[in-house]
Amino acid sequence: MLDLSDRFVLTTGPDGRPACELRAFTHGLMPVTVPAMMQAFTDDWAVRGVDAWNAVPDHWDIGRPVGWWTLPEALGDRWIAPILGAAPGTCVMQPNVHWTVAALLSCDGPFEGRTGLVLSEAEFPSVRHNVRQWGGLREIAMAEVAAPEGRLDVDALLDAITDNTAWVFVSHVGFATGELQPNETLRAIADRAHRHGALFCVDGYHATGSVDVDVEAIGADVYVGGLLKEASGSTGNSYLYVREGLDLRPRLAGWFADADPFGFNAEPRPHPEVRRRFLAGTTAIASLYHAVEGLRVLLDAGLEAVRADSLAKTGLALERLDAMDLPGLRLRSPRDPERRGAMVILEAPEADRLSRWLKTRGVYTDSRRNEVLRFSPFVWNGREDVERCLDAIEEAVSTGAHLRYEAPAEAGPVT
């Protein structure tokens, strides 16, 4: 099993010792190199001032001259394209997925002569809310396929695609189920969409950094995701891939996306590079300094090795769960390794209390809707972390200790 714990700063448990940190699926740990990168940002700003927009030292191993102006696409070529199996010129950094989806829906081209948009109830709100908001701005005939317990019904989704469909949206790994859609499934959806003249967008947030993605094999026209989770970037580190030759023109494009930004013209003109059209106003630069430090670690190990390690560790957790056979607990995430993402999701009564009680033991998981407990042993966790987590779950569920635990009020459920 991989142990890359020396490449990350481990969170601290209630006893002051490193916690058993199992929340990679929601916000990865900070790579040890991040403080130096943030220092590099302040140094570049201090030494170069506004000239940093034109040129800064190559802190990202890009291998060509770079300045803040071109950093979003330079990072796209150097770091995002390789993890997606994408060609140079197709990827760009973005502030968050919500912005990117909004920009996609603002493109007129896909909606010419069509109004249909196919998605499922399993999509994250960055897609679902966007579609509903845009429904008030342009004519959208939304086909939202039911997803019992958050599971994608592939046949129903395929059936919903028609000659009126402009876009199909699917998650690579479901956030509520941890279910990974195999390449063949995604390819079948892509083929059906393309036969009907529709575009296929995959939300790969929960695959990024834990699965070796191949956008060409899955036939995605567009792939969106972020480095915040397993890839251990932080906020402001999302990205977009647009397949070569797809001429999208977002109406939400800002002046940073203009073909002649310093002409300060009244009429916007789309940038010749499609990916650049997805920039808005002035790019938030500081977040691009910490963006790829986690990817650096994962790519050093190799994404295939990271995936194999994740499967080994989640497999170990599943073996322990089977052996314990605790009443009331039910596995919601897939057992099949072909279908398993990096998360283990357990239906558990009083899941919120269970997660909070585990925290008192220095075991950091999270819960959703008081229904499920989620945890994800990742590259910084050893076998003993998996054991420690499962021991603590066993103790809680078999004694009911968590049901008696009155947790101090927390600011919010953001874990």
Residue ranges in contact with ligand PLP by CB under 6 A: 96-98, 124, 126, 171, 175, 203, 205-206, 226, 238
CB of 98 or CB of 275, closer to ligand PLP: 98
Do 291 and 195 touch, CB atoms closer than 8 A?
no
Tokens of 206: 């929960």
- Min separation Cβ 238 and ligand PLP, Å: 5
CA 365 to CA 20: how far, in whole Å? Answer: 9
CA 259 to CA 272: how far, in whole Å? Answer: 6
CB of 128 or CB of 276, closer to ligand PLP: 128
Q: Please provide residue 51's backbone torsions phi and psi, each rounded to the nearest 5 degrees.
A: -65, -15
Helices (H), 19-124: 34-48, 71-75, 81-84, 97-105
Tokens of 178: 């941890």
- Min separation Cβ 137 and ligand PLP, Å: 18
CB of 96 or CB of 164, closer to ligand PLP: 96
344: nearest Cα among 361, 329, 324, 360: 329
CB of 31 or CB of 236, closer to ligand PLP: 236
- Min separation Cβ 54 and ligand PLP, Å: 29
CB of 206 or CB of 402, closer to ligand PLP: 206
- Min separation Cβ 99 and ligand PLP, Å: 7
Residue of minimal Cβ distance to ligand PLP? 96
List, as one string, the DSSP characters of 99-149: HHHHHHHTBSGGGTT--EEEEETTS-HHHHHHHHHHHTTS--EEEEE--GG
CA 67 to CA 38: how far, in whole Å? Answer: 16
- Min separation Cβ 121 and ligand PLP, Å: 13
CA 15 to CA 361: how far, in whole Å? Answer: 9
CB of 189 or CB of 390, closer to ligand PLP: 189
- Min separation Cβ 70 and ligand PLP, Å: 23
CB of 169 or CB of 380, closer to ligand PLP: 169
Instruction: Report CA 357 to chain centroid distance, whole Å.
Output: 27
- Min separation Cβ 94 and ligand PLP, Å: 8
